[in-house]
Amino acid sequence: GPAFAAKDLVVGMPDNITTLDPADINDTLSQSASRTMLQGLFGFDKDMKLVPLLAESFTVNDTATEYTYRLRKNVVFHDGTPFNAQAVKTSFDRLADPANRLKRQSLLAMLAETVVVDDYTITLKLSQPFGALNNNLAHPGAMIHSPKALETYGKDIGRHPVGTGPYKFVSWEADTLKVEKNDKYWKQGLPKIDHVTLKSVPENGSRIAMLQTNEAQFIYPLPPEMVKMVEGNQALEIIDAPSIIARYVAMNTMKKPFNDPRVRQALNYAIDKNAYAKVVYRGYAGPLDSAIPSKLGFHVTQPSQYTYDLAKAKALLAEAGYPNGFEAEMFGRNSTNFIRGMQFVQQQLSQIGVKLTVTPLEAGVETARVWGVEKPEDATVQMQYGGWSASTGDADWGLRPLLWGKGFPPKFFNVAYYKNDTVDAAIETGIATADTAKRAEAYRVAQEQIWKDAPWIFLGVENLLAGKSKKLTGFYYVADGGLQMEEADLQ
């Protein structure tokens, strides 16, 4: 009978998985895929809240340089190897060692030493204070491999993941990953699905067709303009969740006319944020009411918003000496969505006499023209239409890479070349402590200052959209763009 039929879930994704070694992954999609099989000491729940997974509890010293974790017992890897402190040490040491050249090395770059206290206790000693360590450990990059598998497969671990997660690896060919139920999963009664297939279906229309024909039960992302197609179908529903993806235009504050805060503010006033959400995201977007999206830790909504006000914008421009506006060039990636956003901004600013040339850049060209520039003086970028998803879910990773005065390209991504001592100090304080109250205060100060200086045009926060079969439950699309499917079930 149907009750005994195997439950097979197919997920349609936009892209190919690059590797299944999370320590070496930098794309959300591969992270989601590896999360079905691997786990770390911490994780995020569906609301981006930090939750312990393989760690049961932790202690930290005042200077945030030494963390001690108690580990969960009676957990085994898929290959039968027991999970213990040694396994954690193996994975962490591997990640932290620059010689291994793993893409996520920075997550544990501050790690000085891992000490196995006993089988289920481990201490991490840091070379410098780092308050957001648990967030870093919750990052998929810090998930833990079976030490045996690491030894067996070496460099090829990315094709043979062995973890403690709810599903076991079955196969991965070209664009299809298959995993199956882990019968010995440590969470009681989970997982409920027998097989999960993750398929890459790049074309939006095709992905929706798969959902419509029930060839897939979950597809993401769902482009906002296509929501209607899913809405019409009784058997389907839409997931519309807030994300942590900020959309903004960074202005090069070292270059005229953007070196004048009044100009930057004027541009902020000149843009109708509601129209932005409507045109670019068909309404599926929220406001960016501070330098970081509201779903990030320590976010503070700024009291005085840049509401759409052309008169004020013009006045500010005139005050700054540009009564007739000016001309500028805006860079941005060449995806349809970016081009759409850029055209919107272009049109809005034209209302106050600011004439933008929109130059879409191919990914590689962008690295060369924007991110690879060695000296700020050499930067050709005037405006950069961009987006940022702080994958750690923490204010630190939402601010430090983008607005820290020591984070100019190529080191980090501060393409606004924004440097403000207050902000820099606040960011540095925030990271130097694990004390939540202190951190909150630091980030409040930073956000306030940034908002006032407006190195960006704050555009909005897009929503995460996905389509799914109504029969599918317990399947979450998390704010960082990742998927959580351990509780998934098919009716």
Q: Return the residues of window 359-388 that contact other proteins according to CB under 8 A.
A: 359-369, 371-372, 388
For the bound state, the minimum distance from the C-beta of residue 130 to other proteins, rounded and expressed in Å, comes to: 14
For the bound state, the minimum distance from the C-beta of residue 332 to other proteins, rounded and expressed in Å, comes to: 9
Question: For residue 260, what is the DSSP state?
Answer: S
Find how far residue 439's CA is from the centre of its chain.
Answer: 21
For the bound state, the minimum distance from the C-beta of residue 371 to other proteins, rounded and expressed in Å, comes to: 6
Return the range that interacts with other proteins (CB under 8 A); candidates 42-50, 72-80, 205-213, 292-300: 205-213
- The encoded tokens of residue 98 equal 């620059």
Return the range that interacts with other proteins (CB under 8 A); candidates 32-40, 237-245, 296-304, 336-344: 336-344
- Residue carrying structure tokens 């509890």: 57
| 402 within 8 A of 455, measured Cβ to Cβ | no
User: Does 101 interact with other proteins (rule: CB under 8 A)?
Assistant: yes
170 or 275, CB closer to other proteins?
Answer: 275
Contacts of 272 (CB under 8 A, 6+ apart): 308, 348
User: Does 308 interact with other proteins (rule: CB under 8 A)?
Assistant: no
User: Does 278 interact with other proteins (rule: CB under 8 A)?
Assistant: yes
Using CB under 8 A as the binding criterion, the count of chain residues that bind other proteins stands at: 77
Contacting other proteins (CB under 8 A), which of 6, 174, 311, 437?
174
User: Does 189 interact with other proteins (rule: CB under 8 A)?
Assistant: no
Give the pairing of strands 456-469 and 285-286: antiparallel
For the bound state, the minimum distance from the C-beta of residue 156 to other proteins, rounded and expressed in Å, comes to: 8
Contacting other proteins (CB under 8 A), which of 358, 425, 440, 490?
358
Return the range that interacts with other proteins (CB under 8 A); candidates 16-24, 51-59, 78-86, 118-126: 16-24
User: Does 213 interact with other proteins (rule: CB under 8 A)?
Assistant: yes
Binders of other proteins among residues 108 to 127 (CB under 8 A) are 109
Contacting other proteins (CB under 8 A), which of 229, 267, 434, 442?
229
Quote the CA–CA distance of 448 and 453 in Å, as a whole number: 9
For the bound state, the minimum distance from the C-beta of residue 450 to other proteins, rounded and expressed in Å, comes to: 19
- Around 36, how many Cα atoms within 13 Å sit in the side-chain half-sphere? 31
User: Does 357 interact with other proteins (rule: CB under 8 A)?
Assistant: yes
Contacting other proteins (CB under 8 A), which of 149, 210, 316, 415?
210
Burial of 234 (0-12, 13-18, 19+ CB in 10 A): exposed
For the bound state, the minimum distance from the C-beta of residue 340 to other proteins, rounded and expressed in Å, comes to: 7
User: Does 440 interact with other proteins (rule: CB under 8 A)?
Assistant: no
User: Does 309 interact with other proteins (rule: CB under 8 A)?
Assistant: no
SS3 content of the chain, % helix, strand, coil (to 5): 35, 25, 40
User: Does 275 interact with other proteins (rule: CB under 8 A)?
Assistant: yes
81 or 359, CB closer to other proteins?
Answer: 359
For the bound state, the minimum distance from the C-beta of residue 47 to other proteins, rounded and expressed in Å, comes to: 22
64 or 219, CB closer to other proteins?
Answer: 219
159 or 184, CB closer to other proteins?
Answer: 159
| Helix/strand/coil for 179 | strand
Long-range contacts of 91-99 (CB under 8 A, 24+ apart): 91/23, 91/142, 91/143, 91/144, 91/145, 91/147, 91/150, 92/124, 92/142, 94/23, 94/145, 94/150, 95/23, 95/141, 95/142
User: Does 98 interact with other proteins (rule: CB under 8 A)?
Assistant: yes
- Residue carrying structure tokens 């079969």: 469
| 140 within 8 A of 40, measured Cβ to Cβ | yes
215 or 487, CB closer to other proteins?
Answer: 215
User: Does 198 interact with other proteins (rule: CB under 8 A)?
Assistant: no
- The encoded tokens of residue 332 equal 């941005």
Element containing residue 205 per DSSP (H, E) = helix 204-212
ω into 257 cis (within 30 of 0): yes
- The encoded tokens of residue 268 equal 């902020």
